[in-house]
């Protein structure tokens, strides 16, 4: 482990970055990259294999240092996840962003991290979900670490809202729409008052919108580089601004920064400045002014927008982290030691307010007929035994039995299938249920990670969750509003709206199930896993139905 205090590089007290990395080379790389942008540093810590002190110790120290505004953290394994999350909550409360890069999303990346640190890596997806729930800025690359730190060291408490973009390039305007959508950066809808204000600074033929293309107005009225930014900053829908332009002549380069600088110096929302042209030379006076004022500066609008997306997510996460659901859930008396038979799992779901099909358990065919007469045909029958984990493979599920004769024939077939698939298996009985009307099938579940605690998962149902890798992880105290927001980020989210003649689905009910599962996991530490696959989502206002339920206990 090495610990290196760094002399102030330029900015004043409270505007420094602390670098904490388990790799010495990476710590140096971050240091050089930030110093090249005139970002002030406080310390560089390389924690190595953490035989005595770990990243969490230095994070705690940095949170108590008034000179530090941002923590740049590179870790390949967090050895005390619970402590890290507590520190992340503290960092959020005091307005000090933790910008963290944690490799291991791929199998080979995870093994490389293990071999480097000598510690077993935890579940990377679980780590990301838990960290983001505490508003940690989880970046996927070193470039995005550099770029986010450059913005957040100047604006550590950004406001939620979409991006406002000002440019003098029609091409950049069009590309910004496309690239913003590809990275998930929301382009803000300007308020009418903002559009009216912007229209006073451009000729009548200039279309006022966001991104705002000022065209050639800057030649005759260079003040527009500042006045347009001010108008955007005053818009309640805008949380962050990108002022991106063609550089132009040496004189025009300087005018752009000269008119933007007074706005930047008093801005309470992040302003990001970019000149396109890749390595096209910039004049030394322009470079000196940019470095002296400290504005986050880019030569690539795409790179700037990637960082803006992460900063916008951080602003939203700071607000969302205060929205937690702490409702109670019943204590469940479930069998211990593995998979719990389906009918008991459905009883548990029912006690927590999750809708399951009407039905009951039958020990013989006459009881099955009685249940079917009560709930109405058609019915489904399912053999029930804890050791019968893959019922469909064993022919232990029969559907759409439309009358008593079909039910009696189906009973004999079901029992025969089970005896052939699992000779000598003793059944708890047969579950007789109504045939639930079709709908969109999702999978929703929960799991308890030994490092990161309980999490809730929602994804597209059936085999698609594995094929498309389309799922969202949420903390067990997720609120209904936050759950709905996460469900809306599914790749298949469009299927939940009105789609090709199908009605919009009851997303509110899906979110309620997610919250109820989280409450069950918090109230019942003996539950390791819950899997509802499928959860049938009916039309909006008609709720959901859990067709299958698997609980796994300690």
Q: What is the pLDDT of residue 47?
A: 94
- Residue 325 in any domain: the answer is no
Question: What pLDDT is recorded for position 119?
Answer: 41
Q: Are residues 292 and 430 in the same domain?
A: no
The answer on 121 and 191 residing in a single domain is: no
Closest CA to 484 of 454, 505, 499, 455: 505
- Residue 337 is predicted with a pLDDT of 87
d(CA 361, CA 345) in angstroms, rounded, equals 13
Domain boundary among 416, 434, 452: 434
Residues 419-437 have pLDDT tens digits of 999 999 999 999 999 999 9
Number of H helices, E strands in the chain: 19, 22
Do 208 and 247 belong to one domain? Answer: yes
- Residue 11 has a pLDDT of 40
Check: CB of residue 121 under 8 Å from CB of residue 104.
Answer: yes
For tokens 């963290």, the residue is: 100
Pull the structure tokens for residue 181: 């959508």
Q: Please check whether residue 337 lies inside any domain of the structure.
A: no
CB atoms within 10 A of CB 27: 22
Verify that 85 and 6 share a domain, yes or no: yes
Nearest to 225 by CA among 248, 191, 193: 248
Are 546 and 354 a contacting pair, CB within 8 Å? yes
Separation CA 367–CA 365 (nearest Å): 5
Q: Are residues 207 and 260 in the same domain?
A: yes
Q: Is 435 exposed, middle or buried (0-12, 13-18, 19+ CB in 10 A)?
A: middle
The verdict on 202 and 116 lying in the same domain is no
Whether residues 497 and 379 share a domain: the answer is: no
Per-residue pLDDT tens digits for 514-545: 999 999 999 999 999 999 999 999 999 999 99
The DSSP annotation for 96-156 comes to: --EEEE---SSHHHHHHHHHHHSS----HHHHHHHHHHTT-EE-SSHHHHHHHHHHHTT-S
173 in the same domain as 143: no
Q: How many CB atoms lie within 10 A of CB 527?
A: 23
The confidence score (pLDDT) of residue 469 equals 78
Per the prediction, the chain carries an average pLDDT of: 91
Same-domain pairing of 168 and 316: yes
Q: Is the dihedral of CA 305, 306, 311, 317 positive or negative?
A: positive
What pLDDT shows up at residue 120?
A: 39
Predicted pLDDT at 460: 87
Which residue range forms the structural domain that includes residue 394? Answer: 358-434
Q: How confident is the model at residue 201 (pLDDT cuts 50, 70, 90)?
A: very high
In a domain, 326, yes or no: no
Q: Domain boundary residue among 434, 462, 477?
A: 434
Do 121 and 229 have their domain in common?
no
Q: Give the predicted TM-score (pTM) of the model.
A: 0.88
Q: Is the peptide bond before 46 cis (omega within 30 degrees of 0)?
A: no
What DSSP element (H or E) covers 57?
helix 55-63
Identify whether 329 is part of a domain.
no
CATH of the domain at 430: 3.30.1490.20
Q: What is the 3-state secondary structure (H, E, C) of 335-386?
A: CCCEEECHHHHHHHHHHCCCCCCCEEEECCHHHHHHHHHHHCCCEEEEEECC
Would 353 be classed as within a structural domain?
no
Reported as a single tens digit per residue, the pLDDT across 346-391 is 999 999 999 999 999 999 999 999 999 999 999 999 999 988 878 8
Q: What is the CATH number of the domain that holds 7?
A: 3.40.50.261
pLDDT band at 492 (very low <50, low <70, confident <90, very high): confident
* Domain presence at residue 288: yes
Residue 342 lies in a domain: no
Closest CA to 458 of 520, 527, 537: 537
Q: Is the pLDDT of residue 488 over 90?
A: yes
Phi, psi of 198 (to 5 degrees): -65, -35
Give the three-state DSSP class for 52.
coil
Q: Which of 403, 434, 465 is the last residue of a domain?
A: 434
Closest CA to 149 of 103, 218, 92, 97: 97
Interior angle at CA 53, CA 47 and CA 54, nearest 5: 60
Question: What is the model's pLDDT at position 113?
Answer: 46
CB 484 within 8 A of CB 497: no
Q: Is the predicted pLDDT of residue 198 greater than 60, yes or no?
A: yes
The angle that helices 55-63 and 81-94 make with each other, rounded to 10 degrees, is 20
How do residues 65-80 score in pLDDT, each as one tens digit? 999 999 999 999 999 9
Q: Could you read off the pLDDT of 465-481 as tens digits, one per residue?
A: 767 778 999 999 999 99
236 and 300 belong to one structural domain: yes
- Assess whether pLDDT exceeds 90 at residue 330: yes
CB 150 within 8 A of CB 304: no
Q: Which two tokens stand for residue 71?
A: 């923590």
Model confidence over 152-193: pLDDT tens digits?
A: 999 999 999 999 999 999 899 999 999 999 999 999 999 999
Classify burial at 192, counting beta carbons within 10 Å of its beta carbon; exposed 0-12, middle 13-18, buried 19 or more: exposed
Range in 6-10, 17-21, 239-243, 282-286 with the lowest mean pLDDT: 6-10
Mean pLDDT across the stretch 254-276? 95
Per-residue pLDDT at 104 exceeds 60: yes
Is residue 175 assigned to a domain?
yes
Distances (CA, A) of 440 to 199, 359, 495, 537: 46, 22, 8, 5
Please provide the DSSP assignment of 395-460 as one string: T-EEEEE-SHHHHHHHHHHHHHHHHHHSTTPPPSEEEEEE-PPP-EEEEEEEEEETTTEEEEEEEE
Residue carrying the six token digits 């132009």: 248
Structural domain count, the chain: 4
pLDDT exceeding 90 applies to what percent of the chain?
Answer: 83
Q: Are residues 107 and 204 in the same domain?
A: no
Per the document, the length of the chain is: 554
């Amino acid at each position: 482990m090495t610990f290196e205090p760094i002399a102030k590089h330029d900015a004043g007290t409270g505007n420094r970055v602390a670098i904490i990395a388990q790799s010495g080379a990476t710590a140096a790389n971050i240091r050089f990259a930030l110093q090249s942008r005139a970002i002030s540093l406080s310390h560089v810590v390389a924690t190595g294999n953490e035989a005595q002190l770990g990243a969490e110790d230095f994070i705690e120290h940095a949170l108590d240092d008034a000179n530090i505004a941002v923590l740049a953290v590179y870790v390949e394994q967090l050895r005390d996840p619970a402590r890290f999350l507590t520190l992340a909550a503290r960092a959020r409360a005091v307005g000090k962003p933790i910008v963290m890069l944690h490799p291991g999303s791929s199998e080979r990346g995870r093994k490389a991290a293990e071999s480097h640190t000598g510690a077993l890596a935890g579940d990377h997806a679980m780590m990301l979900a838990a960290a983001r729930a505490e508003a940690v800025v989880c970046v996927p690359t070193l470039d995005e670490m550099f770029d986010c730190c450059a913005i957040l060291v100047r604006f550590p408490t950004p406001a939620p809202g979409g991006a406002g973009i000002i440019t003098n390039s029609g091409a950049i305007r069009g590309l910004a729409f496309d690239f913003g959508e590809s990275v998930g950066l929301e382009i803000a809808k300007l308020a009418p008052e903002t559009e009216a204000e912007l229209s006073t600074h451009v000729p009548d033929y200039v279309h006022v919108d966001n991104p705002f293309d000022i065209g050639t107005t800057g030649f005759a009225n260079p003040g527009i580089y500042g006045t347009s930014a001010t108008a955007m900053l005053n818009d309640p829908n805008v949380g962050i601004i990108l002022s991106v332009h063609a550089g132009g002549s040496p004189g025009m380069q300087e005018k752009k920064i000269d008119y933007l600088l007074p706005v930047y110096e008093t801005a309470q929302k992040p302003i990001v400045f970019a000149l396109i042209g890749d390595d096209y030379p910039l004049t030394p006076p322009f470079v000196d002014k940019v470095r002296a004022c400290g504005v986050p500066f880019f030569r690539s609008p795409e790179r700037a927008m990637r960082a803006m997306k992460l900063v916008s997510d951080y602003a939203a996460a700071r607000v969302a982290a205060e929205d937690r659901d702490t409702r109670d859930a019943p204590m469940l008396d479930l069998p211990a030691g593995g998979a719990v038979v389906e009918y008991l799992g459905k009883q548990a779901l029912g006690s927590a307010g999750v809708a399951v099909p009407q039905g009951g358990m039958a020990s013989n065919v006459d009881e099955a007929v009685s249940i079917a007469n009560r709930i109405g045909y058609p019915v489904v029958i399912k053999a029930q035994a804890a050791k019968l984990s893959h019922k469909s493979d064993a022919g232990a599920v029969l559907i759409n039995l439309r009358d008593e004769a079909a039910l009696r024939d189906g009973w004999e077939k079901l029992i025969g299938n089970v005896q052939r698939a699992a000779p000598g298996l003793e059944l708890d009985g047969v579950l007789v249920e109504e045939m639930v009307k079709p709908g969109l099938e999702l999978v929703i579940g929960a799991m308890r990670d030994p490092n990161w605690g309980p999490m809730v998962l929602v994804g597209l149902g059936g085999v698609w969750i594995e094929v498309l890798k389309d799922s969202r992880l949420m903390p067990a105290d997720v609120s209904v509003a936050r759950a709905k927001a996460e469900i809306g980020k599914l790749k298949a989210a469009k299927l939940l709206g009105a789609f090709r003649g199908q009605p919009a689905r009851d997303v509110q009910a899906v979110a309620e199930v997610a919250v109820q599962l989280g409450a069950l996991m918090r109230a019942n530490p003996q539950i390791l896993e819950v899997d509802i696959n499928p959860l049938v989502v009916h039309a909006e206002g008609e709720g959901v139905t859990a067709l299958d339920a698997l609980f796994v206990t300690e």
